[in-house]
Every structure is written in structure tokens, then in C-alpha cells.
Amino acid sequence: MATYTARHATDTGPPLSGIIGSSPAMEEVYRTTRRVARSNASVLLLGETGTGKELIATAIHHLSNRATGPFVRVNCGALSESLLESELFGHVHGAFTGAIKNRTGRFEAAHTGTLFLDEINSTSRMLQVKLLRVLQEREFERVGDTQTIQVDVRVIAASNRNLRDLVEDHGFREDLYWRLNVVPVEIPPLRHRRDDIPQLVTHFLNHYNEVNDRYVVHIERRAMEALQDYHWPGNVRELQNYVERAVVMAEGDELTLDLLPPVVRDGGPPRGGRRGDDIDSLTYEVVQQGLLTAPPDEENLHSKIVNRVEKELIAQVMLSCNYVQTKAAARLGINRNTLHKKLKEYDLETPP
């Protein structure tokens, strides 16, 4: 049976340190990254979850003249509005309940370096006003303080949503959008760079072989074909997860088709689709898995299925987030105002 043999990742060498891939789509990302790194301009990284936006942000920092300064990361979608404000700008003793001492914020911590704001799309409009001021004036005050602090920070922001669409929906300030979007870098999803999959698989095999003291160095051809045919809704992060699982579960030195999850072995939605943002792909998956059934002669079947799936998804996420809308919106990857409209539309505003 034909197999692929895993080569060490350094055989070909990534174009940027820590980033794997040599497809035309990624080559364009590398060119833009190198060019913008030499400046102090704000950068907006756009791409789906799991495409490697943080890796690109790290590369920009290390290639810049700020490389000797700090590189500070903040996931804006992981914190509530009040906590995020304190995280970014710091606070003084007594500013709010629980503020038992002064605290330095991430903007101060990133002085002379780079601040990476991931999931910038999840910030509230009130906080966006304060972010705009820092970008324009390079100054701010800690929460509960009147003393102005000046900082020299380069901001790299990332979003898994189209910020221009959010601006039109009044979920994101247009003036902040233009301050962040000086140099946009669009990172392609894995389904648009399938030629990079063998190289990525090899890289992850080498890594997890070393971590788990295993020796899985061959890849069955059928397994590689399945990996290249899959639609990858979770992008590189999902691929990494499946390779790690295969290395742990393999009994020999080969990654075989049976070590991959059923969704990969069965092919998933047609090539080019993506769960979560492509309606036709979503409908296909729902019907294939039998999650929803309807008479074949029912009218408006497509929209009804999509609405029912969206309602169920929002209900589950709200429950898992204890009905904290900011947290749920971040997890869903949508603006809080959009979530509020959906909750009202589907009658999900209060817990069942």
C-alpha cells in the first residue's frame, strides 16, 4: 500500500519562523508581513478561527524594530467589558470592588513593544472609544485614576469577523476601523491552501512524536487524500488536533485512515464549503447527519433548517455561558448587538 514518509520540517524550511506552508496564498501573506513589519503602522489581521493569526502577529513583532521590546497578547473575546477595560488600561486601588491594589494594564506592559489585540470584533462600542484615543493620542488613564499615562506601543489587531460588515451594522466604530485597518493582512483558511496540508501534517507528526515518544513517520495515501479532501472548519488548529490524536492512538509507525475521525473519513460537506459561515455547507451537514428532518415538499426548507440550527446553537451557547451575553457573543464570533437581536427573534432572552 502506498504511503507518504514524514520528513523533518526543516527539510524545506518555513518562509517565516514558526509558520508552515508554501502555497501561493501563504506566499502573499509572507510578503505583506515582511513589508509591514519594518513600519510602525497598525495592522489588522483577518481570518477565520484557527488560521494562525497570532503566529503572523508574532512574526511581525520579531521582524520589526521593536523586536527587543515586549510582545503582549490580549484575547478581547475572553473577558467581559469591565474586566477587559481593566486588563488593557490597568486600575488603581479602590477603583471598583475587588481592586485591592494598583495594577498595570497591558498597554503599559507593552511600552516600546507590540500589543496584539485578538478578537477585536468582540469589544463594546464604549471600549472602542478608549481604544481609538490610545491609537490617536498614545495616552490613557487607568480605571479610577486621573493621571494621564503616555505609551509607545504598536497595535496589531485580529478579527475572525468582517469588520466592515460590523461597521455597517453599527456594531463597530468606523473611525476605529480605519485606525486599525492601515495595513490589512488576510490569512487564508486551510481549505484554500490544501497544498500545504502534507507539510503541516509532517510538521505536527514530528512534534507529537517527540512529545509522546512515538515513531509515526509514514502516512497512508488514503489518509492523506482524506485530509486534503476535508473542508476544515477549524482550520490548522483542527488539523493539529487530529494529527495529535492519531499519533497517540497509532499502534505502529503509520498514520492510517482509521485513525482519523469519521467526519474526515466521510468527507464532510462538498469541497470549498465551511461549517458556520457557508449556508449551503451548513444545510448539507445538517441533512447528512439527520439532525433535522422535514417533508421533501415543504416550502422554504433551506431557510427553515438554517434558522432552526441557528436557534439551537445560540440556545446551547447561552446555556454554556450562563446567559452572559458578552461571553456568548464572543464564543459565537458575533457582535453583542447582533446576539441581542437574535435572542429577541428566537425568544431566547430569558433562561428556560
Which of 73, 75, 76 lies closest to 61 in space, CA to CA? 73
Q: Measured between alpha carbons, how far apart are the two ends of the chain, in Å?
A: 55
Q: Choose the most confident range, by mean pLDDT, from 4-13, 208-217, 263-272.
A: 208-217
Does one domain contain both 303 and 253?
A: no
Query: pLDDT value at position 10?
Result: 40
Q: What is the overall mean pLDDT for the chain?
A: 83
Q: pTM of the full predicted structure?
A: 0.71
Does one domain contain both 81 and 142?
A: yes
SS (H, E, C) 97-135: CCCCCCEECHHHHCCCCEEEEECHHHCCHHHHHHHHHHH
What pLDDT digit, counting tens, does each position of 269-289 carry?
Answer: 544 444 344 444 444 444 444
Give me the numbers of helices (H) and strands (E) for the chain, helices first please. 15, 12
Q: Which of 139, 169, 186 is the last residue of a domain?
A: 186
Give the span between the Cα atoms of 271 and 20, in whole angstroms: 22
Residue 4 has pLDDT above 90, yes or no: no
Does one domain contain both 60 and 131?
A: yes
Does one domain contain both 104 and 197?
A: no
Does one domain contain both 113 and 164?
A: yes
281 touches 273 (CB < 8 A): yes
Answer yes or no: is 311 within a domain.
yes
* 288 CB neighbour count, 10 Å cutoff: 12
Q: What percentage of the chain has pLDDT greater than the value 90?
A: 52
DSSP per-residue string spanning 46-96:
E--TTS-HHHHHHHHHHHSTTTTS-EEEEEGGGS-HHHHHHHHHEE-TTSS
Give the span between the Cα atoms of 245 and 262, in whole angstroms: 13
Higher pLDDT, 210 or 318: 210
Does one domain contain both 158 and 218?
A: no
Q: What's the average model confidence in pLDDT over 235-247?
A: 95
Higher pLDDT, 163 or 3: 163
Query: pLDDT value at position 68?
Result: 95
Query: pLDDT value at position 249?
Result: 93
Does one domain contain both 164 and 205?
A: no
Number of domains in the chain: 3
What pLDDT digit, counting tens, does each position of 112-148 carry?
Answer: 999 999 999 999 999 999 999 999 999 988 887 888 8
Answer yes or no: is 17 within a domain.
no
201 touches 256 (CB < 8 A): no
Question: Which residues does 320 contact at the CB level (< 8 Å), separation at least 6?
Answer: 331
Strand partners of residue 219 = 4, 255
Answer yes or no: is 331 within a domain.
yes
Query: pLDDT value at position 277?
Result: 42
Question: Which residues does 188 contact at the CB level (< 8 Å), separation at least 6?
Answer: 23, 25, 26, 29, 47, 51
Question: Residue 176 is part of which domain span?
Answer: 24-186
What pLDDT digit, counting tens, does each position of 81-104 carry?
Answer: 878 988 899 877 566 666 667 788
DSSP state of 16: B
